[in-house]
Amino acid sequence: MLSRFKPTWMIENIYSISPQFLLEHKINCVLTDLDNTLVPWNSKVGSDELRAWLASIKKYGIQVIVVSNNSHHRIQAAVKDYELPFVPRAMKPLSIGIRHAIKEFHLNKKNTVMVGDQLMTDVVSANSCGVRSILVKPLVRTDAWNTTINRYFEKIVWNKLIKKYPDLHWK
């Protein structure tokens, strides 16, 4: 039961995920959450750091697709300058959004990873779907009201995860 919350990897932030790391693990597609993973939850735009990371990833032929519980309008506004495809209303922690992305973009689960800042949504949906996951720290310390609720339960699960999997640590 607890294994459904266990990320494959834990990396400080999405910008620390190198193309070399992805290729070394035979990953050619990054599914990514939006809020507090790619951009701060309370921002409508990304950063120069995001632009540089996307350019380096795309240079190696690695696809990036946003899979978010947000509305079409919110995601479109946040990624318009980056020309990223996206799946809105992904319904994470259910695997609906990830399965939709895999089907729509003809992806192979073995070559795909889900990156996100929440155990309760991003990691659970990836594990439910049979896709590897990377848990990242949130870009900002605050959250939308609905995420604050998830963070409360996430702390409880996190403490149990660390006891069961002492090898879990940030890279």
47: left (phi over 0), alpha (psi -120 to 50) or beta: beta
The residue range of the domain holding 106 is: 2-164
Q: Is residue 170 part of a domain?
A: no
In a domain, 171, yes or no: no
pLDDT digits (tens, 9 = 90+) for 109-144: 999 999 999 999 999 999 999 999 999 998 867 666
Token pair for 95: 């695997």
Task: CATH number of the domain at 145, please.
Answer: 3.40.50.1000
Question: Domain total for the chain?
Answer: 1
Residue range 47-75: average pLDDT? 95
- Categorize the per-residue pLDDT at 44 as very low, low, confident or very high, splitting at 50, 70 and 90: confident
Whether 29 is covered by a domain: the verdict is yes
Q: Is 67 a member of any domain? A: yes
Q: Is residue 169 part of a domain?
A: no
Q: What is the mean pLDDT of residues 146-158?
A: 78
User: Within a domain: residue 93?
Assistant: yes
Query: Looking at the chain, how many residues does it have?
Result: 171
* pLDDT value of residue 48: 87
What pTM does this model have?
0.91
